[in-house]
Amino acid sequence: EAQVTQNPRYLITVTGKKLTVTCSQNMNHEYMSWYRQDPGLGLRQIYYSMNVEVTDKGDVPEGYKVSRKEKRNFPLILESPSPNQTSLYFCASTGTSGGTDTQYFGPGTRLTVL
Amino acid sequence: QKEVEQDPGPLSVPEGAIVSLNCTYSNSAFQYFMWYRQYSRKGPELLMYTYSSGNKEDGRFTAQVDKSSKYISLFIRDSQPSDSATYLCAMDSSYKLIFGSGTRLLVRP
**A88–B contact, CB cutoff 8 A:** no
**A58–B contact, CB cutoff 8 A:** yes
Residues 11-50 of A with CB under 8 A from B: 31, 35, 40-45, 48, 50
pLDDT of B2: 78
pLDDT by residue for chain B (109 residues), tens only, comes to 778 999 888 999 999 999 999 999 998 888 889 999 999 989 999 999 888 888 999 999 999 999 999 999 999 999 999 999 999 999 986 667 889 999 999 999 9
Instruction: Determine whether the interchain pair A40/B100 forms a contact, defined as Cβ–Cβ distance below 8 Å.
Output: no
Calculate how close chain A gets to B64, using CA atoms only, in Å. 18
Instruction: Determine whether the interchain pair A106/B43 forms a contact, defined as Cβ–Cβ distance below 8 Å.
Output: yes
**B88–A contact, CB cutoff 8 A:** yes
Q: pLDDT per residue over A62-103, tens digit each? A: 999 999 999 999 999 999 999 999 999 999 999 876 666 788
3-state secondary structure of B85: strand
Radius of gyration of chain A (CA): 14
Nearest residue to A33 (alpha-carbon basis) of B43, B104, B87, B3: B43
pLDDT of B8: 85
Nearest by CB to B46, from A44, A103, A107: name it: A103
Nearest by CB to A42, from B46, B96, B100: name it: B100
pLDDT of A39: 87
**B100–A contact, CB cutoff 8 A:** yes
In this structure, which amino acid lies at residue A45?
Q
Alpha-carbon distance B83 to A63, whole Å? 36
pLDDT of B58: 93
Strands A10-13 and A65-66: unpaired
**B23–A contact, CB cutoff 8 A:** no
Taking residue A61's Cβ as centre, other Cβ atoms within 10 Å add up to 16
